[in-house]
Structure 1
Protein backbone atom coordinates (compact mmCIF):
# COMPACT_ATOMS: atom_id res chain seq x y z
CA UNK A 1 0.00 0.00 0.00
CA UNK A 2 1.20 3.50 -0.79
CA UNK A 3 0.19 6.26 1.63
CA UNK A 4 0.12 10.01 1.09
CA UNK A 5 0.27 12.04 4.31
CA UNK A 6 -0.78 15.60 3.57
CA UNK A 7 -1.04 18.55 5.92
CA UNK A 8 0.25 21.89 7.04
CA UNK A 9 3.47 22.04 9.01
CA UNK A 10 3.29 22.63 12.75
CA UNK A 11 0.52 20.94 14.72
CA UNK A 12 -1.12 19.22 11.75
CA UNK A 13 2.19 17.65 10.75
CA UNK A 14 2.86 16.60 14.34
CA UNK A 15 -0.59 15.02 14.45
CA UNK A 16 0.18 12.92 11.35
CA UNK A 17 3.64 12.04 12.59
CA UNK A 18 2.12 10.63 15.78
CA UNK A 19 0.52 7.93 13.61
CA UNK A 20 3.98 6.49 12.97
CA UNK A 21 3.01 3.02 14.19
CA UNK A 22 0.54 2.90 11.31
CA UNK A 23 2.65 4.30 8.46
CA UNK A 24 6.22 3.35 9.41
CA UNK A 25 6.21 0.11 7.38
CA UNK A 26 4.26 1.50 4.43
CA UNK A 27 5.50 3.01 1.18
CA UNK A 28 4.74 6.64 1.92
CA UNK A 29 5.30 10.25 0.99
CA UNK A 30 4.45 13.58 2.56
CA UNK A 31 3.00 16.82 1.26
CA UNK A 32 3.54 19.80 3.56
CA UNK A 33 4.92 23.31 3.83
CA UNK A 34 8.69 23.61 3.28
CA UNK A 35 9.24 25.10 6.74
CA UNK A 36 12.06 24.23 9.13
CA UNK A 37 9.98 22.00 11.40
CA UNK A 38 8.85 19.89 8.44
CA UNK A 39 12.32 19.72 6.90
CA UNK A 40 13.78 18.60 10.23
CA UNK A 41 11.07 16.09 11.13
CA UNK A 42 10.89 14.61 7.62
CA UNK A 43 14.59 14.77 6.72
CA UNK A 44 14.67 11.03 5.91
CA UNK A 45 11.24 10.96 4.27
CA UNK A 46 10.05 11.58 0.69
CA UNK A 47 8.45 15.02 0.84
CA UNK A 48 6.74 17.32 -1.64
CA UNK A 49 6.58 21.00 -0.78
CA UNK A 50 3.23 22.69 -1.20
CA UNK A 51 2.42 26.37 -1.49
CA UNK A 52 1.44 28.42 1.54
CA UNK A 53 -0.28 30.22 3.12
CA UNK A 54 -3.31 28.12 2.23
CA UNK A 55 -6.18 29.39 4.32
CA UNK A 56 -8.35 31.75 2.31
CA UNK A 57 -5.67 32.08 -0.35
CA UNK A 58 -7.17 31.33 -3.76
CA UNK A 59 -3.87 31.69 -5.63
CA UNK A 60 -2.21 28.98 -3.53
CA UNK A 61 -5.30 26.77 -3.74
CA UNK A 62 -4.92 26.83 -7.52
CA UNK A 63 -1.17 26.14 -7.27
CA UNK A 64 -1.76 23.27 -4.83
CA UNK A 65 -4.44 21.84 -7.10
CA UNK A 66 -1.92 21.62 -9.94
CA UNK A 67 0.62 20.20 -7.50
CA UNK A 68 -1.91 17.56 -6.43
CA UNK A 69 -2.50 16.53 -10.03
CA UNK A 70 1.24 16.19 -10.62
CA UNK A 71 2.00 14.34 -7.38
CA UNK A 72 -1.02 12.02 -7.50
CA UNK A 73 -0.31 11.05 -11.11
CA UNK A 74 3.30 10.28 -10.27
CA UNK A 75 2.85 8.54 -6.91
CA UNK A 76 -0.56 6.88 -7.31
CA UNK A 77 -1.31 6.47 -3.59
CA UNK A 78 -3.90 3.96 -2.39
CA UNK A 79 -4.62 6.02 0.71
CA UNK A 80 -4.51 9.74 1.55
CA UNK A 81 -4.49 10.75 5.22
CA UNK A 82 -4.74 14.28 6.59
CA UNK A 83 -5.54 16.22 9.72
CA UNK A 84 -5.66 19.52 7.83
CA UNK A 85 -5.38 22.18 6.96
CA UNK A 86 -6.44 23.59 3.57
CA UNK A 87 -3.75 21.86 1.48
CA UNK A 88 -5.70 18.62 2.09
CA UNK A 89 -8.68 19.83 0.05
CA UNK A 90 -7.30 19.44 -3.50
CA UNK A 91 -5.54 16.19 -2.56
CA UNK A 92 -8.77 14.67 -1.20
CA UNK A 93 -10.99 15.67 -4.12
CA UNK A 94 -8.46 14.77 -6.81
CA UNK A 95 -7.35 11.71 -4.89
CA UNK A 96 -10.90 10.36 -5.08
CA UNK A 97 -10.87 10.90 -8.85
CA UNK A 98 -7.59 8.95 -9.01
CA UNK A 99 -9.14 6.07 -7.01
CA UNK A 100 -7.51 6.65 -3.60
CA UNK A 101 -9.25 6.06 -0.29
CA UNK A 102 -9.22 9.00 2.13
CA UNK A 103 -9.03 9.33 5.89
CA UNK A 104 -9.44 12.68 7.60
CA UNK A 105 -8.68 13.21 11.29
CA UNK A 106 -10.36 16.28 12.74
CA UNK A 107 -7.93 18.06 15.03
CA UNK A 108 -7.93 17.48 18.77
CA UNK A 109 -8.66 21.08 19.73
CA UNK A 110 -12.08 20.99 18.03
CA UNK A 111 -14.61 19.69 20.51
CA UNK A 112 -17.90 20.96 19.13
CA UNK A 113 -17.28 23.04 15.99
CA UNK A 114 -15.98 21.93 12.59
CA UNK A 115 -12.86 23.24 10.94
CA UNK A 116 -13.23 24.75 7.48
CA UNK A 117 -11.12 21.96 5.99
CA UNK A 118 -13.13 19.30 7.81
CA UNK A 119 -16.37 20.70 6.37
CA UNK A 120 -14.88 20.81 2.87
CA UNK A 121 -13.49 17.26 2.80
CA UNK A 122 -16.28 15.53 4.76
CA UNK A 123 -18.33 14.74 1.63
CA UNK A 124 -15.45 12.85 -0.05
CA UNK A 125 -13.84 11.23 2.97
CA UNK A 126 -14.08 7.45 3.31
CA UNK A 127 -13.28 7.46 7.04
CA UNK A 128 -13.76 10.65 9.01
CA UNK A 129 -12.17 10.43 12.45
CA UNK A 130 -13.00 12.64 15.42
CA UNK A 131 -11.37 12.70 18.83
CA UNK A 132 -14.36 13.84 20.88
CA UNK A 133 -17.81 12.23 21.10
CA UNK A 134 -19.41 15.70 20.85
CA UNK A 135 -18.04 16.02 17.31
CA UNK A 136 -20.35 13.23 16.10
CA UNK A 137 -23.15 15.81 16.34
CA UNK A 138 -21.22 17.91 13.82
CA UNK A 139 -20.13 14.98 11.63
CA UNK A 140 -22.78 12.22 11.95
CA UNK A 141 -20.83 9.65 9.88
CA UNK A 142 -17.64 10.20 11.88
CA UNK A 143 -15.88 7.57 13.95
CA UNK A 144 -14.71 8.63 17.41
CA UNK A 145 -11.39 6.97 18.14
CA UNK A 146 -10.60 9.24 21.06
CA UNK A 147 -7.38 11.16 21.47
CA UNK A 148 -4.30 10.13 19.54
CA UNK A 149 -2.11 12.15 21.93
Structure 2
Protein backbone atom coordinates (compact mmCIF):
# COMPACT_ATOMS: atom_id res chain seq x y z
CA UNK A 1 0.00 0.00 0.00
CA UNK A 2 1.25 3.48 -0.85
CA UNK A 3 0.38 6.21 1.65
CA UNK A 4 0.34 9.97 1.10
CA UNK A 5 0.65 11.98 4.30
CA UNK A 6 -0.49 15.53 3.58
CA UNK A 7 -0.48 18.40 6.03
CA UNK A 8 0.82 21.75 7.09
CA UNK A 9 3.96 21.93 9.15
CA UNK A 10 3.74 22.39 12.91
CA UNK A 11 0.95 20.64 14.81
CA UNK A 12 -0.61 19.05 11.73
CA UNK A 13 2.70 17.47 10.78
CA UNK A 14 3.16 16.28 14.37
CA UNK A 15 -0.30 14.65 14.31
CA UNK A 16 0.61 12.71 11.18
CA UNK A 17 4.02 11.75 12.51
CA UNK A 18 2.41 10.32 15.65
CA UNK A 19 0.71 7.75 13.40
CA UNK A 20 4.13 6.21 12.72
CA UNK A 21 3.06 2.70 13.77
CA UNK A 22 0.61 2.76 10.90
CA UNK A 23 2.79 4.18 8.11
CA UNK A 24 6.35 3.17 9.02
CA UNK A 25 6.25 -0.15 7.13
CA UNK A 26 4.36 1.22 4.13
CA UNK A 27 5.62 2.87 0.99
CA UNK A 28 4.90 6.54 1.59
CA UNK A 29 5.53 10.14 0.75
CA UNK A 30 4.80 13.43 2.47
CA UNK A 31 3.42 16.75 1.30
CA UNK A 32 4.08 19.62 3.66
CA UNK A 33 5.71 23.03 3.88
CA UNK A 34 9.45 23.49 3.47
CA UNK A 35 10.00 24.65 7.04
CA UNK A 36 12.54 23.69 9.69
CA UNK A 37 10.34 21.17 11.51
CA UNK A 38 9.54 19.31 8.29
CA UNK A 39 13.16 19.40 7.14
CA UNK A 40 14.30 17.94 10.45
CA UNK A 41 11.52 15.44 11.10
CA UNK A 42 11.32 14.17 7.52
CA UNK A 43 14.97 14.35 6.48
CA UNK A 44 15.01 10.65 5.53
CA UNK A 45 11.51 10.69 3.99
CA UNK A 46 10.29 11.33 0.45
CA UNK A 47 8.75 14.79 0.61
CA UNK A 48 7.07 17.25 -1.71
CA UNK A 49 7.02 20.91 -0.72
CA UNK A 50 3.63 22.61 -0.73
CA UNK A 51 3.15 26.33 -1.20
CA UNK A 52 2.34 28.47 1.82
CA UNK A 53 0.71 30.38 3.40
CA UNK A 54 -2.53 28.57 2.61
CA UNK A 55 -5.09 30.32 4.81
CA UNK A 56 -7.48 32.05 2.44
CA UNK A 57 -4.70 32.43 -0.13
CA UNK A 58 -6.16 31.79 -3.58
CA UNK A 59 -2.80 31.94 -5.37
CA UNK A 60 -1.35 29.18 -3.20
CA UNK A 61 -4.57 27.16 -3.42
CA UNK A 62 -4.15 27.26 -7.19
CA UNK A 63 -0.44 26.34 -6.95
CA UNK A 64 -1.18 23.51 -4.51
CA UNK A 65 -3.89 22.20 -6.83
CA UNK A 66 -1.35 22.00 -9.64
CA UNK A 67 1.10 20.35 -7.22
CA UNK A 68 -1.58 17.85 -6.15
CA UNK A 69 -2.32 16.92 -9.75
CA UNK A 70 1.37 16.39 -10.56
CA UNK A 71 2.16 14.46 -7.38
CA UNK A 72 -0.94 12.26 -7.53
CA UNK A 73 -0.34 11.48 -11.21
CA UNK A 74 3.25 10.48 -10.43
CA UNK A 75 2.73 8.63 -7.14
CA UNK A 76 -0.76 7.07 -7.36
CA UNK A 77 -1.25 6.61 -3.60
CA UNK A 78 -3.78 4.09 -2.36
CA UNK A 79 -4.66 6.27 0.61
CA UNK A 80 -4.28 9.96 1.49
CA UNK A 81 -4.20 10.84 5.18
CA UNK A 82 -4.36 14.36 6.57
CA UNK A 83 -5.08 16.25 9.74
CA UNK A 84 -5.12 19.59 7.90
CA UNK A 85 -4.84 22.24 7.09
CA UNK A 86 -5.75 23.82 3.74
CA UNK A 87 -3.10 21.97 1.72
CA UNK A 88 -5.23 18.84 2.20
CA UNK A 89 -8.17 20.21 0.21
CA UNK A 90 -6.82 19.86 -3.35
CA UNK A 91 -5.21 16.52 -2.52
CA UNK A 92 -8.50 15.09 -1.22
CA UNK A 93 -10.63 16.26 -4.14
CA UNK A 94 -8.13 15.30 -6.83
CA UNK A 95 -7.20 12.15 -4.92
CA UNK A 96 -10.76 10.90 -5.32
CA UNK A 97 -10.44 11.36 -9.10
CA UNK A 98 -7.24 9.29 -9.02
CA UNK A 99 -9.00 6.53 -7.07
CA UNK A 100 -7.35 7.09 -3.68
CA UNK A 101 -9.12 6.48 -0.40
CA UNK A 102 -9.03 9.45 1.97
CA UNK A 103 -8.80 9.69 5.74
CA UNK A 104 -9.12 13.00 7.52
CA UNK A 105 -8.38 13.44 11.22
CA UNK A 106 -9.93 16.55 12.72
CA UNK A 107 -7.43 18.25 15.01
CA UNK A 108 -7.39 17.63 18.74
CA UNK A 109 -8.01 21.24 19.74
CA UNK A 110 -11.45 21.28 18.09
CA UNK A 111 -13.97 20.07 20.64
CA UNK A 112 -17.29 21.40 19.34
CA UNK A 113 -16.67 23.49 16.20
CA UNK A 114 -15.38 22.38 12.79
CA UNK A 115 -12.24 23.61 11.10
CA UNK A 116 -12.61 25.17 7.67
CA UNK A 117 -10.57 22.34 6.16
CA UNK A 118 -12.70 19.75 7.93
CA UNK A 119 -15.86 21.31 6.50
CA UNK A 120 -14.36 21.39 3.00
CA UNK A 121 -13.11 17.79 2.90
CA UNK A 122 -15.95 16.14 4.85
CA UNK A 123 -18.07 15.51 1.72
CA UNK A 124 -15.30 13.55 -0.06
CA UNK A 125 -13.62 11.80 2.84
CA UNK A 126 -13.92 8.02 3.11
CA UNK A 127 -13.12 8.00 6.83
CA UNK A 128 -13.52 11.15 8.87
CA UNK A 129 -12.05 10.76 12.34
CA UNK A 130 -12.69 12.98 15.35
CA UNK A 131 -10.78 13.00 18.61
CA UNK A 132 -13.67 14.17 20.80
CA UNK A 133 -17.05 12.46 21.14
CA UNK A 134 -18.74 15.90 21.02
CA UNK A 135 -17.55 16.37 17.43
CA UNK A 136 -19.94 13.65 16.25
CA UNK A 137 -22.65 16.31 16.59
CA UNK A 138 -20.73 18.47 14.11
CA UNK A 139 -19.79 15.61 11.76
CA UNK A 140 -22.52 12.94 12.04
CA UNK A 141 -20.71 10.40 9.82
CA UNK A 142 -17.42 10.77 11.70
CA UNK A 143 -15.74 8.02 13.67
CA UNK A 144 -14.68 8.82 17.21
CA UNK A 145 -11.35 7.15 17.98
CA UNK A 146 -10.08 9.29 20.84
CA UNK A 147 -6.93 11.35 20.93
CA UNK A 148 -3.82 10.65 18.91
CA UNK A 149 -1.57 11.80 21.73
Into which bin does the TM-score normalised by the smaller protein fall?
over 0.9
C-alpha distance in 2 between matches for 1:148 and 1:107? 9
Cα drift, residue 90 of structure 1: 0.1
1:75 aligned residue: 75
Partner of 1:138, secondary structure, is coil
Unpaired segments of 5 or more residues in structure 1? none
Unpaired segments of 5 or more residues in structure 2? none
Asked whether 1:40 is paired with 2:9, we answer no
1:29 aligned residue: 29
C-alpha distance in 1 between matches for 2:22 and 2:14? 14
Q: Give the alignment's Cα RMSD to 1 decimal.
A: 0.2
Count of residue correspondences: 149
C-alpha distance in 1 between matches for 2:142 and 2:50? 28
Cα drift, residue 95 of structure 1: 0.1
TM-score scaled by length of structure 2: 1.00
Q: How does 1:1-12 map to 2 (within 5 A)?
A: 1-12=1-12
Cα drift, residue 9 of structure 1: 0.2
Cα drift, residue 15 of structure 1: 0.3
C-alpha distance in 2 between matches for 1:147 and 1:15? 10
C-alpha distance in 2 between matches for 1:148 and 1:115? 17
Cα drift, residue 81 of structure 1: 0.1
TM-score scaled by length of structure 1: 1.00
C-alpha distance in 1 between matches for 2:95 and 2:25? 22
